[in-house]
Amino acid sequence: MQGYLGIELGSTRIKAVLIDESFLAVATGGYEWENILEDGFWTYSMDDVWQGLRACYGELAENYENKFGEKLTKPDAIGISAMMHGYLPFDKGGKQLAAFRTWRNTTTEESAVKLSELFSFNIPQRWSIAHIYQAILNGESHIGEIDFFTTLAGYVHWKLTGEKVLGIGDASGMFPIDSGINDYHAGMMEFFDELAVGSELGRPLKEILPKVLNAGENAGCLTEEGASLLDPSGNLKSGIPLCPPEGDAGTGMVATNSVAELTGNISSGTSVFAMIVLEKALSKYYPEIDMVTTPAGKPVAMVHCNNFTSDIDAWVRLLRETVRTFGAEIDKDEFYETLYKKAMEGDPSCGGLTSYNYFAGEPITGTDEGRPLFVRMPGSSFTLANFFRTLVFSAMGTLKLGMDMLTEYEKVEIKSLIGHGGFFRTKVIPQKLMAAALGVPVTVMGSEGEGGAWGIALLAAYMADNTSGQKLGEFLSERVFGENAGFTVEPDPADVQGFTEFMKMYKAGLEAEKAAIKGLK
């Protein structure tokens, strides 16, 4: 067997998963990396991209050979996924014109506001169109040289296949999509072209955006150059078909079987976002809510927060260092699990503690930079249990503010959510705390450890093996997930009330976070 290969470039880890015809993971590989703040932008170098991809694929190929006694030479299909949004511009010769600007940047407020007003459609700061227009407003010299710009997934796919294409879910984070035609919104594109008249851009927007493809379409084949980029050993052969490259939001929906109307999921890692597949468009646009699509083009309301586990992870590293200072060594997963259990011993409302996990800016609360901050009152109950519970609740605070827009103003009924991503690797307790924060049941399917890499492998399989022409939702429900209903945790009323009380202090203390951003440079 060879199987279907999915690779996802996440914010802290590149993950590769090979699945068999039963859609089960049979080999994996990984590579840890971190973004850096350079010249005012959060970025990754393209050298790091390829170093990470080679290391990740190499580990998977080695695991495959050890397991099956043969070299991995020709998977049946490949899919590439990565962090959505951001900005990667290139000239006619393929030269990169500016450092990769990731989703984490909050440097495009002027552009995002102007475009949102022009389109009557929310354009978040991290969207690709906001980045390119901000570069125009800034008068950046490279604008006149742009021949093509794309996302990270689109870039890697292009280098592997020569095709300048993008899956519709990832494309919906570059520019608004018209779900009636499953392509970029033509009217908004005309508005942008009129807005850009007189700038150095000099070309219609459609000519420099990647072509939009839907789930199930063929997106090209691995070239000899692409095969050697991914596998310098020469074992990987050219000619392998690739599915449309997708963003991490789309692969998260696939990995949680959340592509049908009124289904929803929470993707949790360095950032966190909740996505609800809608029956109809929202009544108006909200700066707190993105409108994107599923990989099949259905409209999705997304509440995206730039910060989630980074602050928790930083405190855990500090606490582990403290333990090591006394000569003890505890397994990382065990350390997390113990602290999560400890959090359940804390006061439901965290005993008068609060914190802000802002490593980067958070547009939902109007902050354009990050200052991680922990705050307590003189009379607060400052215990380890309350402290760690506060870190977890604060990570959910911004998400809660955004979700309230959907439920209170748009009356969107959220019956349950499926959780995936690194946060849910610890069993039960993260589900319990997330259920308390959002007031809905939270389900984990058991595939959360593989996450988006598994999701894009499923999309590769859907493209290559869907001989019956099933819709994506049917393919997932009938062939992939079947009777797997996952494990569901209902919200505990005491925890729900505790989180409600916590949010009062969280909201009141936002001015302290803003003052820290203003005062600490």
Instruction: Check residue 1 and give its pLDDT.
Output: 76
292 Cβ contact list (under 8 Å, min separation 6): 84, 169, 172, 173, 177, 249, 275, 299, 300, 302
Q: Which residues pair with 29 in a beta bridge?
A: 16
Domains and CATH numbers, the chain: 310-444+491-519 (3.30.420.40)
Question: Which H helix or E strand runs over 412?
Answer: none
CA separation, residue 148 to residues 40, 139, 166, 408 (Å): 23, 18, 12, 40
366 Cβ contact list (under 8 Å, min separation 6): 514
User: In this predicted model, what pLDDT tens digit does every residue of 350-376 receive, in sequence order?
Assistant: 999 999 999 989 989 999 899 999 999
- Whether the Cβ atoms of residue 286 and residue 362 lie closer than 8 Å to each other: no
Instruction: Check residue 34 and give its pLDDT.
Output: 92
- Whether the Cβ atoms of residue 502 and residue 393 lie closer than 8 Å to each other: yes
As a whole number of angstroms, the distance between CA 450 and CA 458 comes to 12
Amino acid (1-letter code) at residue 202: G
Q: The pTM is what?
A: 0.82
Burial 54-85 (b: 16+ CB within 10 A, else e): bbbbbbbbebbeeeeeeebeebbbbbbbbbbb
Instruction: Check residue 450 and give its pLDDT.
Output: 63
What percent of the chain shows pLDDT beyond 90? 82
Instruction: Check residue 447 and give its pLDDT.
Output: 56
Amino acid (1-letter code) at residue 405: M
Give average pLDDT by consecutive 10-residue segment, the chain, 521 residues: 94 94 95 93 96 98 97 97 96 97 92 96 95 97 97 98 98 95 97 95 95 97 98 97 96 90 87 88 86 93 92 97 96 95 97 96 90 96 98 97 91 88 88 96 74 94 85 91 85 97 97 96 86
User: In this predicted model, what pLDDT tens digit does every residue of 488-502 receive, in sequence order?
Assistant: 999 999 999 999 999
Tracing tokens 């499923």 back to the chain, one arrives at 458
Listed residue (257, 296, 263) closest to 482, CA to CA: 257
Structure tokens, 282: 């929202």
User: In this predicted model, what pLDDT tens digit does every residue of 191-223 receive, in sequence order?
Assistant: 999 999 999 998 999 999 999 999 999 999 999
Q: Are strands 77-82 and 4-9 parallel, antiparallel or unpaired?
A: parallel
